[in-house]
Amino acid sequence: MPSSCSWTRCGRISPASIWRRRYGNSRAASAATVRPLADPLAIAPKSNYAELPLRIISAIVIAPPCIAAIWLGAPYIQMIVLAAVFLMALEWARLVGHDRNPWLIGVLTVGVPQPVIASFFGSFDLALVLSGLIFLAIMAMTKIAGVPRGIWLAAGVPAIVLPALSLLFIRDHGEAGLVTALWLLAVVVATDVGAYFAGRTIGGPKLAPRISPKKTWAGLIGGMVSAGLVGAGAILLIGVGDIILLVIFSALLAVVAQIGDLSESAVKRHFGVKDSGTIIPGHGGLFDRLDGFLTTLPTVALVMALTGTSILQWQ
């Protein structure tokens, strides 16, 4: 019970009795000052970790098939990515307020998977060009039809397609791609876990209160430390690479992951939506669970494309 409440003592309690509390400094509760209370358990302060068990259960269910798909590669990873892209397109339409328009949902859910399908044949350049054309086509169609917020609907194309193509591009690099994908997965998960516990345990100044009131600077630092530890562990495990370099890069990726998280939070706040969906208990939708990957996957893929090698192989 909150500290402002004090339980009253009384004599014999009839079956019709209800819980009451007194206000101010009055010694006796009068009819004018007494209000019925809800179940005391219902108003008890919520624990900082109340949703943790549900999050853990969801992770246990989701993680194995995703890790297996990354490990096995094509065609399993392609099927997982294609299914995720389709579901995220539905979530995006709902998020930006177009979920009640069947033809807009159809345009997005049909258009978004096309670049991903094109990448199945190894043509990532074609996939990028195709995603740009679909983005412009959706903008043009919504403009001609006079659909409000058409730019927001079209923005779902790069928001969904770029991370999906990035994952497939990374995994397409053989054994190096496999190790890189698993390392990146571990970095983002460690960032989430570190930020979650540090933020709720330490608290402190808010990171971006207007966008995400629960995020703190302590959480960001906790996420960076956790990600750096994953980087160190990866080098010790595979036995090659520069440990200092990878620790720094992993910690920086934690910041990039937080940018993805805050970006998704900003979109949800703009449209007055709490969660992008309800498919994952304890998290919400796929966007809510994968927000850190929206920025980290393209970042790592770009580094691989520019250097021709994985960051884990840098000396």
Do 164 and 260 fall within a single domain?
yes
Helix axis angle, 217-238 to 174-202, nearest 10°: 150
Q: What is the pLDDT of residue 43?
A: 42
Do 252 and 116 fall within a single domain?
yes
Give the pTM: 0.82
Q: How far apart are CA 48 and CA 20, in angstroms?
A: 28
Do 291 and 158 fall within a single domain?
yes
Q: What is the pLDDT of residue 264?
A: 93
Do 16 and 135 fall within a single domain?
no
Do 246 and 119 fall within a single domain?
yes
Q: Which amino acid is at 154?
A: A
Do 183 and 237 fall within a single domain?
yes
Do 177 and 270 fall within a single domain?
yes
Do 76 and 211 fall within a single domain?
yes
Q: What is the pLDDT of residue 14?
A: 45
Answer for the pair 119, 168: CB distance below 8 angstroms, yes or no: yes
Q: How far apart are CA 62 and CA 189, in angstroms?
A: 13
Per residue of the chain (315 residues), give pLDDT as tens: 444 444 344 444 444 443 344 334 444 444 444 444 444 444 444 555 666 777 778 778 888 989 999 999 999 999 999 999 999 999 999 999 888 888 889 999 999 999 999 999 878 999 999 999 999 999 999 999 888 889 999 999 999 999 999 999 999 999 999 999 999 999 999 999 999 899 889 988 999 989 988 889 999 999 999 999 999 999 999 888 889 999 999 999 999 999 999 999 999 999 999 888 888 876 788 999 899 999 999 999 999 999 999 888 887
Q: How far apart are CA 279 and CA 214, in angstroms?
A: 22
Query: Which domain range does residue 26 map to?
Result: 1-45
Do 14 and 152 fall within a single domain?
no
Do 171 and 300 fall within a single domain?
yes
Q: Which residue has the tokens 């509390």?
A: 21
Q: What is the pLDDT of residue 62?
A: 82
Instruction: Give long-range contacts, CB 8 A cutoff, 24+ apart: 150-157.
Output: 152/96, 152/97, 153/92, 153/93, 153/96, 153/98, 153/104, 153/107, 153/108, 155/96, 156/88, 156/89, 156/92, 156/93, 156/96, 156/108, 156/112, 157/108, 157/111, 157/112, 157/131
SS (H, E, C) 122-174: CCHHHHHHHHHHHHHHHHHHHHHCCCCCHHHHHHHHHHHHHHHHHHHHHHCCH
Do 35 and 60 fall within a single domain?
no
- Please count the structural domains in the chain: 2
Q: How far apart are CA 256 and CA 258, in angstroms?
A: 5
Do 189 and 207 fall within a single domain?
yes
Neighbours of 240 (CB within 10 A): 10
Local structure of 79: helix, strand or coil: helix
Q: What is the pLDDT of residue 121?
A: 86
Q: Omega into 75 within 30° of 0, i.e. cis?
A: yes
Q: How far apart are CA 169 and CA 210, in angstroms?
A: 35
Distance from chain centroid for Cα 42: 29
